[in-house]
């Protein structure tokens, strides 16, 4: 009943399939006048399809619905003229991979580097990113996490406004560009995690509703009507996203997916989409003899998403653990507005060291309700922690990175806290050398009303934080350009020193120096007044002994009595 959708090249012809259950006719039209407009044929579940000869990679097409308007393909693999225009056929099999030696990295060994293709390099492309991989090798990280690259409106976007889940952003270098980057990473022993958005569609260029019930009025999200994971026809919508996930892993050799805001994937049915997703990937693992990671962003602190199937869980591998970031950030900066009001004590960080989630079934003053579940049965490798990421930096009004907020010594303390922690560390691009340029929120929408709405929405979001100053214009190209990494750190002694510090700490981590913490058999000693935290491993590591960590978040030198 469910069919694969999109354009599939098969020798000398191409099979086009699209799901549009309520449409009376669907025709395919080509930019090339040599190819005739042709009606597709419908099956009983609403899939329209037709095999058409003479189509090759690059052929541009679109669908005409009910003989009226023409729209791009929801499963388009390329939008060379942007989100509103022709889709193009892509040949998935014309790339020759060179990564057959790649063996992958175990979850627990990951040291992740989050990057945004458009601002990671001056050129903002996959290809230019390849030229910086040696920098990452020198730094010591072993995985990159790429912010979403599904086609979005214009050329400037964080990626969460993507509207073609199957199409790789053309301005980044499209499908082939991504493959080259992944291939290059693997040849340098770097894993690739891709950030994918299955909880909403961007506000511009999203024509899914023209095709079928991709959305449901049963649930709402902060971004409008929810994607339809549990209402009538949801089997087809679920399959659309499931196949998308499998495509990245299978066709693009991606090692893992970071699932954006899974709390907004609303599914009240008996078989949760996240579990179905993980189980579909389990099957692919067997086929490909490879392990794929699923890492969730979730605001619920609910271990259910990671618990094994037999415990009723969804079996995901890990989740972002914002609690850790907020505990470090508030201690380091003294900022307590907005959601930071739930943090700020040394005890918070101590609890994060002991068990990951701080909100584990306790009352959150900011959310005004009890939040979370007990994480103690989860291995430390199930929690991804950071001291900055695109959200925590970019959702500040001025996009300041910690270097603008704290002293150089505090920067090192923050970095050390993360890198020694029992959890999977994730750096945000530029963090390793204290990039001083901001990471701002930027868009390049085509619709002026939408641009205005985004400007207003951003301003409103900042109110709780009481930041002062002018909000940078998200639509301005200047805002985008200011957000690019500058890569000039070799000129600056502090920046250079910080890079060396990151290198050193990462190398110690890789040597297993901190692994006595990994099982979280730790004692914590909290000195709230002195802003001092002492963490001590209960077990000694062979050849290393007891691990003792002293974190001084105050500005004063402090003397402590070494525990026996």
Pairing of strands 318-320, 293-296: parallel
Identify whether 449 is a catalytic site residue: no
427 forms bridges with which residues in the sheet?
Answer: 113
Identity of the residue, 232 or 560, whose beta carbon is nearer to a second copy in the bound complex = 232
- For the bound state, the minimum distance from the C-beta of residue 1 to a second copy, rounded and expressed in Å, comes to 7
Q: How far apart are CA 232 and CA 252, in angstroms?
A: 32
- For the bound state, the minimum distance from the C-beta of residue 273 to a second copy, rounded and expressed in Å, comes to 11
Identity of the residue, 103 or 310, whose beta carbon is nearer to a second copy in the bound complex = 310
Identity of the residue, 229 or 518, whose beta carbon is nearer to a second copy in the bound complex = 229
Q: Which of 440, 448, 427 is nearest to 499 (CA)?
A: 427
- For the bound state, the minimum distance from the C-beta of residue 323 to a second copy, rounded and expressed in Å, comes to 13
Question: DSSP H helical segments within 387-492, as ranges?
Answer: 390-394, 408-420, 448-461, 477-482
Q: Which of 231, 260, 307, 335 is catalytic?
A: 260
Are 266 and 230 spatial neighbours (Cβ–Cβ below 8 Å)?
Answer: yes
- For the bound state, the minimum distance from the C-beta of residue 507 to a second copy, rounded and expressed in Å, comes to 37
Give kind and range of the element (H or E) at residue 383.
strand 383-385
Residues in the chain: 564
Q: Which of 380, 387, 284 is nearest to 331 (CA)?
A: 387
- For the bound state, the minimum distance from the C-beta of residue 277 to a second copy, rounded and expressed in Å, comes to 15
Identity of the residue, 229 or 517, whose beta carbon is nearer to a second copy in the bound complex = 229
Are 118 and 156 spatial neighbours (Cβ–Cβ below 8 Å)?
Answer: yes
Identity of the residue, 30 or 314, whose beta carbon is nearer to a second copy in the bound complex = 314
Rg, C-alpha atoms of the chain: 24
Q: Which of 255, 297, 307, 431 is catalytic?
A: 297
Question: For residue 548, how far is the Cα from the chain centroid?
Answer: 33
| Burial of 132: CB neighbours in 10 Å, binned 0-12, 13-18, 19+ | middle
- For the bound state, the minimum distance from the C-beta of residue 233 to a second copy, rounded and expressed in Å, comes to 5
> Which residues of the chain form contacts with a second copy (CB under 8 A)?
1, 218-220, 230-235, 263, 266, 268-271, 300-304, 307, 310-313, 361, 363, 367-373
Q: How far apart are CA 97 and CA 183, in angstroms?
A: 7
- For the bound state, the minimum distance from the C-beta of residue 235 to a second copy, rounded and expressed in Å, comes to 5
Identity of the residue, 266 or 547, whose beta carbon is nearer to a second copy in the bound complex = 266
522 forms bridges with which residues in the sheet?
Answer: 537
Cβ contacts of 446 within 8 Å, gap of 6 or more: 82, 84, 153, 154, 204
- For the bound state, the minimum distance from the C-beta of residue 375 to a second copy, rounded and expressed in Å, comes to 10
Q: What are phi and psi of 469, to 5 degrees?
A: 115, -175
Identify whether 478 is a catalytic site residue: no
Identity of the residue, 114 or 267, whose beta carbon is nearer to a second copy in the bound complex = 267
Q: In which residue are the tokens 């150089």 written? A: 408
Identity of the residue, 222 or 543, whose beta carbon is nearer to a second copy in the bound complex = 222
- For the bound state, the minimum distance from the C-beta of residue 203 to a second copy, rounded and expressed in Å, comes to 20
Identity of the residue, 39 or 312, whose beta carbon is nearer to a second copy in the bound complex = 312
Q: What are phi and psi of 313, to 5 degrees?
A: -85, 175
Q: What are phi and psi of 409, to 5 degrees?
A: -65, -40
Q: Which of 432, 428, 425 is nearest to 514 (CA)?
A: 425
Identity of the residue, 91 or 299, whose beta carbon is nearer to a second copy in the bound complex = 299
Question: DSSP H helical segments within 36-173, as ranges?
Answer: 117-120, 126-130, 133-139
Are 29 and 64 spatial neighbours (Cβ–Cβ below 8 Å)?
Answer: yes
Cβ contacts of 469 within 8 Å, gap of 6 or more: 397, 398
Cβ contacts of 325 within 8 Å, gap of 6 or more: 385, 386, 387, 388, 389, 392
- For the bound state, the minimum distance from the C-beta of residue 462 to a second copy, rounded and expressed in Å, comes to 20
27 forms bridges with which residues in the sheet?
Answer: 39, 64
Question: For residue 224, how far is the Cα from the chain centroid?
Answer: 21
Query: Residues 306, 311, 313, 314: is their CA dihedral positive or negative?
Result: positive
Catalytic residue ranges:
260, 297
């Amino acid at each position: 009943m469910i069919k694969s959708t999109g354009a599939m090249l098969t020798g000398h012809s191409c099979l086009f399939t699209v799901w549009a259950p309520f449409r009376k006719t669907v025709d395919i039209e080509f930019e090339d006048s040599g190819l005739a407009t042709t009606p597709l044929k419908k099956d009983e579940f609403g899939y329209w399809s037709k095999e058409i000869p003479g189509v090759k990679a690059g052929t541009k097409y679109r669908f005409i619905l009910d003989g009226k308007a023409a729209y791009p393909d929801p499963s388009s693999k390329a939008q060379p003229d942007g989100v509103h225009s022709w889709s193009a056929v892509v040949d998935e099999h014309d790339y020759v991979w060179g990564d057959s030696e790649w063996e992958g990295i175990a979850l627990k060994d990951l040291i992740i580097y989050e990057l945004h293709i458009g601002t990671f390099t001056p050129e903002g492309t996959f290809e230019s990113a390849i030229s910086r991989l040696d920098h990452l090798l020198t730094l010591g990280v072993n995985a990159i996490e790429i912010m979403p690259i599904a086609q979005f409106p214009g050329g400037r976007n964080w990626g969460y406004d993507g509207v073609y889940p199957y199409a790789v952003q053309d301005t980044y270098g499209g499908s082939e560009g991504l493959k080259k980057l992944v291939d290059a990473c693997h040849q340098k022993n770097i894993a690739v995690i891709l950030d994918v958005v299955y909880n909403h569609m961007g506000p511009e260029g999203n024509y899914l509703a023209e095709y079928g019930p991709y959305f449901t009025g049963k649930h709402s999200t902060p971004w409008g009507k929810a994607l339809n994971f549990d209402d009538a026809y949801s089997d087809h919508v679920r399959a659309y996203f499931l196949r998308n996930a499998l495509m990245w892993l299978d066709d693009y050799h991606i090692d893992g997916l970071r699932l954006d805001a899974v709390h907004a994937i609303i599914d009240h049915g008996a078989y949760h989409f996240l579990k179905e997703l993980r189980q579909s990937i389990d099957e692919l693992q067997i086929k490909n003899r490879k392990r794929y990671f699923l890492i969730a962003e979730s605001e619920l602190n609910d271990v259910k998403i990671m618990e094994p199937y037999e415990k009723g869980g969804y079996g995901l591998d890990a989740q972002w653990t914002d609690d850790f970031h907020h505990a470090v950030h508030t201690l380091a900066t003294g900022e307590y507005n907005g959601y930071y009001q739930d943090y700020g004590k040394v005890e918070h960080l101590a609890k994060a060291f002991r068990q990951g989630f701080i909100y584990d079934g306790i009352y959150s003053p900011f959310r005004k309700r009890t939040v979370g579940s007990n994480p103690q049965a989860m291995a430390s490798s199930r929690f991804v922690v950071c001291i900055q990421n695109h959200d925590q930096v970019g959702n500040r009004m001025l996009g300041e990175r910690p270097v603008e907020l704290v002293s150089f010594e505090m920067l090192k303390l923050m970095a050390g806290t993360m890198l020694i922690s029992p959890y999977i560390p994730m750096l945000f691009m530029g963090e390793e050398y204290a990039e001083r340029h901001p990471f701002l929120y930027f868009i390049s929408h085509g619709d002026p009303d939408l641009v205005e709405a985004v400007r207003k929405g951003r301003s409103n979001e900042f109110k709780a934080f009481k930041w002062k100053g002018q909000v940078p214009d998200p639509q301005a190209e200047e805002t985008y350009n200011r957000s690019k990494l500058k890569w000039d750190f070799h000129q600056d002694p502090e920046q250079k020193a910080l890079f060396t510090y990151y290198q050193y700490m990462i190398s110690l981590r890789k040597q297993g120096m901190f692994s006595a913490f990994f099982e979280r058999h730790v004692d914590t000693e909290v000195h709230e007044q002195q802003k001092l935290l002492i963490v001590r491993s209960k077990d000694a590591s062979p050849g290393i002994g007891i691990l003792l960590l002293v974190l001084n978040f105050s500005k004063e030198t402090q003397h402590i009595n070494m525990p026996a």
